[in-house]
Chain A
Amino acid sequence: MATLHTRASARLMMSPAVILLFVWMIVPLAMTLYFSFLSYNLLTPGAHNFIGFTNYYYFLTDPAFLTAIGNTLLIVIGVLLITVIGGILLALVLDQPFWGQGIVRLLVIAPFFVMPTVSALVWKNMFMNPVYGLFAWIARGLGLTPVDWLADVPLFSIILIVAWQWLPFATLILLTALQSLDGEQKEAAEMDGAGAISRFFYIVLPHLSRAITVVILIQTIFLLSVFAEILVTTNGGPGIQSTNLTYLVYAQALLQFDVGGASAGGIVAVILANIVAIFLIRLIGKNLDR
């Protein structure tokens, strides 16, 4: 009796969260799917005809699509490379005892709490401005010609900005994992004459592998949808040089008012993200059992 009662009340306690999330997930997705088969432009009111896969055809054959996919992947891979390698190095440094460790730790994680529009605009203006920016000043000091970052290497600049925001996250997680490493194991290896480098590759790195996987997968979810940084710095330009999939869909929907085409793009983005998500769910699901 008691268990039956508990089970019923448990179900009742869970239902608001479950129902809300279900609606939030299904309704917009179903609508996006539905729109993606319609000829639907906000500028031409009236009938929205069913046009089958035409929107998909146009979206997928648009040269902008391939550029956007390429840019999306470049952002993900570029930021991951910088944050994972930089994160490991930083975590190794922060794991050593030194004076002011606690303060340095706070300094390192700070960029993560800066909202995307602030960090993008601060970098765009005060650092990457080709005339007044700090980078231009440094370049001139070294006798080089200043680079117009966001015009000449827009994608690289965006990768740099986003990497700055995510490096603290990677560092913090890798540091947490590093601190759970058994000190005796390292000591034993040291006594057996293992050098610092082989200790790193044979003991530390394998120990970090799980944390690295978590960092990669979680960052990938967010990095596939980088948006604000592009919107306030380059607007996807010059041309479409820094347009990623998220920005392409946004531009098609809210700048060109092509609901049908943008919806097809949205569905493509969902499919892409799902491929990534399957891996993440498996990984975290495994950890849940432990």
Chain B
Amino acid sequence: MARATTTRSKITFTVVGWLCGLLLFFPILWTFLTSFKTEGDAIANPPYFLFFHWTLENYAEVQARSDYLHHFLNSVTISVGSTLIGLVIAVPAAWAMAFSPTRRTKDVLMWMLSTKMMPPVGALIPIYLIFRDWGLLDSRIGLTVVLMLINLPIIVWMLYTYFREIPGEILEAARMDGASLAKEIVYVLTPMAIPGIASTLLLNIILAWNEAFWTLNLSTSRAAPLTTFIASYSSPEGLFWAKLSAASTLAIAPILIMGWFSQKQLVRGLTFGAVK
């Protein structure tokens, strides 16, 4: 009897669960499908779901007409660059806070978190003017630095929550065996810290890739990452849905795959360790 109810509830939840999942995923699936349609098929009414003339011309056209690859590489440079620089700065800081905490460590962490809460419009005008005067507008280096700074608190926090889980006794044991600080870091702690650093790297590339306040305001074409490039489709001419879909599919595919791998870290990273 009990088993029968379980099976029935399992079937119910299978149906409900898949319906919810497909409903939420549908806009992405629709974008993916539309990217293979001709522009005429893309606006057909009633819409074509699967039985249309499949074509790759949109992908070719997005590259040929607007140099998609250029913007893709900008996105890669800016998101990976800002994350790597952020890690170089954050690893020592998080390390020190996790392994030699003082009375003020918590205050420093809290203060770092509070910088994340400053709304970007509070800094937009001076940053824009500084960038204009220093010739940094629409430059990859400028965007990399800004994205590094806005994500630095998250990087420090994530690393801190990971490092804190490394047992301190291991450190002491190594120290007793006469290991120097440098040896301690290279041979004992680094292997244990690698997973945490990798997760942080992954999540921050995702965040930087999708960042759309600073990239939209500080870049126009030369350094424009995909966020800005896609935004240029907001005032297009003629039929463009299929091309928009192709550009969008290419823009979200790599990050969606990375995101699926980092779903666990997402919770930890974005809640600053409050939910694990």
Tell whether, in the assembled complex, residue A112 and residue B17 are in contact, meaning their CB atoms are under 8 Å apart.
no
What residues on A are CB-neighbors of B258 within 8 Å? 113
Q: Are A115's CB and B121's CB within 8 A?
A: no
Which residues in B have their C-beta under 8 angstroms from that of A28? Answer: 122-123, 126-127
CA distance A263 to B113 in the complex (A): 23
- The answer to whether B93 has its CB under 8 Å from any CB of chain A is yes
Interface assignment of B143: CB less than 8 Å from any CB of chain A: no
Q: Are B28 and A281 in contact (CB under 8 A)?
A: no
Is the pair B255, A113 in contact by a Cβ cutoff of 8 Å?
yes
> Which residue of A is nearest B181, CB measured?
A9
Question: Known interface pairs A7-B102, A132-B45. Does A18 touch B108 (Cβ–Cβ under 8 Å)?
Answer: yes
A96 neighbours in B (Cβ, 8 Å): 9-10, 13, 17
- A28-B127, A269-B122 known; A280 vs B90 contact (CB < 8 Å): no
A243 → chain B, closest Cβ, in Å? 13
B190 interfacial by beta-carbon distance below 8 Å: no
Question: Which residues on the B side are within 8 Å of A90 (C-beta)?
Answer: 20
B21 pairs with A116, CB closer than 8 A: no
| Complex contacts, A287 vs chain B, CB 8 Å | 273-274
Contact of A32 among B125, B259, B274 (CB under 8 A): B125
**Residues of chain B with a CB closer than 8 A to A227's CB:** 120, 212-213, 216
A288 on the B face (CB < 8 A): yes
- The CA of A6 and the CA of B155, in the complex, are separated in Å by 23
- Check: A13 CB closer than 8 A to any chain B CB: yes
**Interface SS, A side:** helix
Per-residue contact bits, chain A 242-276, to B (CB 8 Å; 1 contact, 0 not): 00011001100110000100110111011011101
Select one of A14, A210, A254, A283 contacting B97, CB under 8 A. A14
Contact between A21 and B152, CB atoms less than 8 A apart: yes
- Smallest beta-carbon distance B42→chain A, Å: 8
Selected from A17, A116, A125, A269, the residue in CB contact (under 8 A) with B90 is A17
Which residue of A27, A101, A111, A272 is within 8 Å of B126 (Cβ)? Answer: A27
List residues of chain A with CB within 8 A of the CB of B228.
117
CB distance A21 to B125 under 8 Å? no
A232 within 8 A of B: yes
Smallest CB separation, B273 vs chain A (Å): 8
- Chain A positions within 8 Å of B186 at CB level: none
In-complex Cβ contact of A122 among B17, B21, B27, B210 (8 A): B27
Instruction: Tell me which residues across on chain A come within 8 A of B162, comparing CB atoms.
Output: none
In the complex, whether B170 has a CB less than 8 A from a CB of chain A is no
Complex CA–CA separation, A224 to B121 (angstroms): 11
Supposing A104-B21, A137-B46 touch, asked if A115 and B217 sit within 8 A by C-beta, the answer is no
B275 within 8 Å of A (CB atoms) = yes
> Do A20 and B248 touch (CB < 8 A)?
no
Which residues on the B side are within 8 Å of A147 (C-beta)? none
Could you tell me the distance between the alpha carbons of A270 and B263 in the complex, rounded to whole angstroms? 31
- A211-231 to B contact mask, C-beta < 8 Å, 1/0: 100100010010011011001
Q: Which A residues are CB-close (under 8 A) to B193?
A: none
Determine the chain A residues whose CB is within 8 A of the CB of B113 once the complex forms. Answer: 280-281, 284
A8-26 with Cβ < 8 A to chain B: 9-11, 13-14, 16-18, 20-21, 24-25
A149 CB within 8 Å of chain B: no
Contacts of B181 in A (CB 8 A): 9
Interface mask (A82-110 → B, CB under 8 Å = 1, otherwise 0): 00000000100110111111011111111
Q: How far is the CB of A282 from chain B (nearest CB, A)?
A: 10
Does A126 contact B30, Cβ atoms closer than 8 Å? yes
- Residues from chain A with Cβ under 8 Å of B259 in the complex: 109-110, 112-113
Tell whether A117 pairs with B118 under 8 Å between CB atoms, given A21-B153, A100-B14. Answer: no
- B244 at the A/B interface (Cβ < 8 Å)? yes
Which interface class (under 10, 10 to 19, 20 to 34, 35 or more) fits A? Answer: 35 or more
- Residue interface mask A62-98, B partner, CB < 8 A = 1: 0000000000000000000000000000100110111
Chain B residues, Cβ within 8 Å of A35: 125-126
Taking CB atoms and an 8 Å cut-off, the chain B residues in 144-172 that contact chain A are 149, 152-153, 156
Listed A/B pairs (20) with beta-carbon separation below 8 Å: A6-B100, A9-B181, A10-B97, A14-B92, A14-B97, A20-B152, A24-B152, A93-B13, A98-B13, A106-B263, A107-B25, A109-B266, A113-B259, A115-B209, A117-B234, A126-B30, A214-B274, A227-B213, A245-B121, A284-B110
| A residues at B contact (CB < 8 Å) | 6-7, 9-11, 13-14, 16-18, 20-21, 24-25, 27-29, 31-32, 35, 90, 93-94, 96-101, 103-119, 121-127, 131-132, 134, 137, 164, 167-169, 172-173, 176-177, 210-211, 214, 218, 221, 224-225, 227-228, 231-233, 245-246, 249-250, 253-254, 259, 262-263, 265-267, 269-270, 272-274, 276-277, 280-281, 283-285, 287-288
Q: Which residues of B contact A (CB under 8 A)?
A: 9-11, 13-14, 16-18, 20-22, 24-25, 27-28, 30-31, 34, 43, 45-47, 89-90, 92-93, 95-97, 99-100, 102, 106, 108-110, 112-129, 149, 152-153, 156, 181, 206, 209-210, 212-213, 216-217, 226-228, 230-231, 233-234, 241, 244-245, 248, 251-252, 255-256, 258-260, 263, 266-267, 270-276
The 7 lowest CB-CB distance pairs between A and B, nearest first, are: A28-B123, A31-B126, A113-B259, A13-B92, A107-B21, A228-B212, A17-B93
